Amino acid sequence: MYFIKLLKINDTLFTMKDKNFKPANNIQDLQYFGEFGGVNPSISDSSTYTFLSAKTMFDTFEGNADGCYLYSRHTSPSNLYLGEALAAMEGTETANVSGTGMGAIVPALMQLCKAGDHIVSSRTIYGGTYAYLKNFAPGFNLATTFVDITKLDVVEAAITPNTKVIYCESVSNPLLEVADIPGLAALAKKHNLKLLVDNTFSPLSISPAQLGADVVMHSLTKFINGSSDTMGGVICGTQEFIDDLRNVNDGASMLMGSSMDSLRAASILKNMRTLHIRMKQHSANALYLAEKFEADGLKTVYPGLASHPSHQLFKSMMHPEYGYGGMLTIDVGSIDKANELMELMQERNLGYLAVSLGFYKTLFSAPGSSTSSEIPEEEQAEMGLTDGLIRFSIGLDNDIKRTYEIMNTCMKEVGVL
Ligand SMILES: *Cc1c(COP(=O)(O)O)cnc(C)c1O
């Protein structure tokens, strides 16, 4: 064979809304071999690909030569393998990987929305996405109304004749609000809009496409890769939408240029195979700590707690074996207390004072002054993002009881308890 075709044995495992949809099984059942029978696919160490005939090269430009590769900004074998694994996880027809999470979110929005269009977005979203919608997109005459995504009537009231997209995160950063994906999908359908969901905080636990979302995105930088050693993103959707994004003439992913390197795609694919084990451990550890913190009287937000306003909703949407995710927040009253506590926890080796999430170690930061600092202070107050809020990405600690005991000591030392 002149080129190596993607080898997939089990590619029709699921149908939409399949009750037996098992995201981790779908990843596991994919089989990709190297050309010498390697149990891992070979890494495509090339930015460009040769053709035997000029005609095939022309057809490939036109998008009519399935299985042929052209140039790695368009796609590469390694990127296709990773994309197929992510599509299998989300239950979409296919997927396109990108160099970063923002490199997925921005092209997906720009493919669907043109000058004069309007987006209805959750107001509690990742700081970078918020800054893009609030500050950058208006320069291209693309307007956004930010709403409380947990109130479907408020979402619907914000829809205008120019609206093209409803945008949200399944579990929002940093407040851990939970989107009613079936409810939003019904609204999107009624008004002929696309529902775009950033599922970065809840991989495996929630499958937005199964619940009616049109497009699902991730920052692979977080849980999916899980090693805090690389960046990456993905857009999961229909074959038609992904083909549009990759179109050499007018595709936003192709033309905005945030492509992933093949070496990185290969390493993320390998890390992804342990995602189910990691998510179970992140979730079990986070639930343990959330219950302890709440019992100690700390203001704790975690979707797995019965006190979370959307606990039942999360439960109704989740694949239970992966739990409620690794993210939780506590409010310790002031930024000074938050900083003091985080510095002490780092000193005691409980985790790192760092942004990002999904690492084996616990990571903590105060979003008001870091990852959400793009959001003006008045708006932070309005959405309930307080000064003393600490966001935790709970690690894979083997002995979470010991972790809790040391954290408890730290909290007493700084006077939070
Ligand atoms: C980190 C993050 C992003 C952005 O991803 P990058 O890989 O940093 O570009 C988007 N959404 C959420 C929820 C995130 O946590």
Q: Which residue has its alpha carbon closest to ligand 1 atom 12?
A: 126
Atom of ligand 1 nearest to the CA of 102: 9
Cα–Cα distances in angstroms (integers) from residue 276 to residues 139, 313, 320, in the given order? 41, 22, 12
Structure tokens at 91: 């239950």
Q: Write down the pLDDT at residue 64.
A: 67
Ligand 1 centroid to Cα of residue 363, in Å, is 15
Q: Write down the pLDDT at residue 384.
A: 81
Q: Write down the pLDDT at residue 9.
A: 36
Atom of ligand 1 nearest to the CA of 103: 9
For the chain, the three-class secondary structure string (H helix, E strand, C coil) is: CCCCCCCCCCCCCCCCCCCCCCHHHHHHCCCCCCCCCCCCCCCCCCCECCCCCHHHHHHHHCCCCCCCCCECCCCCHHHHHHHHHHHHHHCCCEEEEECCCHHHHHHHHHHHCCCCCEEEEECCCCHHHHHHHHHHHHHHCCEEEEECCCCHHHHHHCCCCCEEEEEEECECCCCCCECCHHHHHHHHHHCCCEEEEECCCCCCCECHHHHCCCEEEEECCCCCCCCCCCCCEEEEECHHHHHHHHCCCCCHHHHHCCCCCHHHHHHHHHHHCCHHHHHHHHHHHHHHHHHHHHHCCCEEECCCCCCCCCHHHHHHHECHHHCCCCEEEEECCCHHHHHHHHHHHHHCCCEEECCCCCCCCEEEECHHHCCCCCCCHHHHHHHCCCCCEEEEECCCCCCHHHHHHHHHHHHHHHCCC
Q: Which residues, including other chains, have CB under 8 Å from residue 113's CB and lie 6 or more apart?
A: 119, 142, 164, 165
Q: Which residue has its alpha carbon closest to ligand 1 atom 8?
A: 101
Q: Write down the pLDDT at residue 32.
A: 92
- What is the best residue among 86, 216, 222, 374 to mutate for testing ligand 1's pocket, by most ligand atoms within 8 Å of CB? 222
Whole-model pTM?
Answer: 0.95
Ligand 1 centroid to Cα of residue 349, in Å, is 26
Ligand 1 centroid to Cα of residue 101, in Å, is 5
Show the low-confidence residues of the chain (pLDDT under 50).
1-16
Q: Which residue has its alpha carbon closest to ligand 1 atom 4?
A: 101
Ligand 1 centroid to Cα of residue 8, in Å, is 29
Ligand 1 centroid to Cα of residue 357, in Å, is 9
Ligand 1 centroid to Cα of residue 126, in Å, is 7
What residues does ligand 1 touch, defined as CB less than 6 Å away? 100-102, 126, 128-129, 169, 173, 198, 200-201, 219, 221-222, 231, 233
Q: Write down the pLDDT at residue 17.
A: 56
Ligand 1 centroid to Cα of residue 172, in Å, is 11
- What is the best residue among 97, 98, 100, 102 to mutate for testing ligand 1's pocket, by most ligand atoms within 8 Å of CB? 102
279 touches 327 (CB < 8 A): no
- What is the best residue among 173, 215, 234, 329 to mutate for testing ligand 1's pocket, by most ligand atoms within 8 Å of CB? 173
Ligand 1 centroid to Cα of residue 186, in Å, is 26
Q: Which residue has its alpha carbon closest to ligand 1 atom 7?
A: 101
Q: Which residue has its alpha carbon closest to ligand 1 atom 1?
A: 219
Atom of ligand 1 nearest to the CA of 232: 7
- What is the best residue among 216, 221, 393 to mutate for testing ligand 1's pocket, by most ligand atoms within 8 Å of CB? 221
